[in-house]
Amino acid sequence: MKPVTLKEIAEQLNISVTTASKALKDYPDVSKKTRGLVRELAKTLNYKPNTFAVNLRTKESKTIGLVIPVIVHHFFSSVIKGIISQAEKKGYLVIILQSNESYELEKKQIDLLLSQRVDGILISLANGTADFSHLTEVISQEKPLVMFDKIAKIVKCSKVIIDDRKAAYMATQHLIDIGCKRIAHFRGALLPQNSIDRFLGYKKALLDNNIPYDHSLVYICECGDMSFEEGKTNAQQLLKDHDDVDGIFINTDLVAIGAMTQFNKQGVKIPEDISIVGFSNWFMSSVISPTLTTIDQPGFKMGKTAFKQLYKEIKAIKNKKPKASKIITLDTALIERESTKK
């Protein structure tokens, strides 16, 4: 069955197409009776507006692109929920793409979104992204671009972040405060800015407390996906390399849970033998045994904030007003649980 057109509704009611359009949009210069008749007939005939034609006229697609490294990660799933919760309120559809931590795929996805004429793009960078030309292309086309979580400082666009150095410092300081002397760090890949900043926060906390930094206590999650298996592997290697480590700050909760699983398997008691602090406050961190002390990273709020900033910039461009880039830093907090000593 062919879609019903506005022209057919107008002909059945013996009114102009303009009047029918205005009636559906509730214009006050159309009588209440006519508005009611048009709406009733449109409902009966299951009329759907031609969004493509509307988008051409308004020069808006009412879609935005979202590029994230992984969808299954608790933090990013929370971000997605935050973005969609705000996008729906403003009548926007969200095209969600997963880069799988691949720069090449990320680049193709940005090209795809630009070809689809999205109104703006939200992105958290892949671990492998070191060239940002695809992002500067977005900016050169006057498309609003907002980065969140994993960002590039040199790209001139709005960013929604946490203070990763401060949060990592807080996590490491907590381990020091409960008496840990030999503190290891399971960090992310070398490239992402948040991984760098968390490492620097860890290192600074040690030096500020006159604890010598030992590079052999830093274990890199080489695969870049910060997985449960990498937590197990690094924990096993740590036990072979160092028998005197009494505390670990771990870059994400999923890796921390993997490490805890390995320690339990090998008879290492948590927190009696080793205290552990994770990062992100994933749901599982509150239900495993022992429960995991962690940094609360506000994923849902980050998603909401990122969309709100993108929407402001979309409107600014539409209204031909200056588009001011902003760096928005959200608060974090340490959640103390059973994996660290009291």
pLDDT digits (tens, 9 = 90+) for 195-243: 999 999 999 999 999 999 999 999 998 665 568 999 999 999 999 999 9
Domain 61-162+299-331 in this protein, CATH class: alpha beta
Average pLDDT rounded to a whole number, residues 111-138: 94
Q: How many helices (H) and strands (E) does the chain have?
A: 12, 12
pLDDT of residue 225: 57
- Taking the domain 164-298, which CATH number applies? 3.40.50.2300
The confidence score (pLDDT) of residue 54 equals 56
pLDDT for the residue numbered 47: 81
- Average pLDDT on 105-127 reads 95
Report the mean per-residue pLDDT for the chain: 92
Q: Quick one: pLDDT at residue 140?
A: 93
Residue type, 243: D
pLDDT digits (tens, 9 = 90+) for 39-72: 998 888 888 776 555 555 556 789 999 999 988 7
d(CA 63, CA 103): 23
Give percent of the chain with pLDDT exceeding 70.
Answer: 95
Give percent of the chain above pLDDT 90.
Answer: 72
Instruction: Over range 286-313, report the average pLDDT.
Output: 97
pLDDT given at position 265: 96
Give the separation between CA 186 and CA 220, rounded to whole angstroms: 6
- For residue 181, pLDDT beyond 90: yes
| More confident of the two residues 85 and 8 | 85
Beta pairing partners, 68? 98
Delimit the domains of the chain by residue range.
6-49, 61-162+299-331, 164-298
Question: H helices within the chain, ranges in order?
Answer: 6-13, 17-24, 32-44, 51-58, 74-89, 103-115, 133-140, 164-177, 193-208, 228-241, 253-265, 299-318
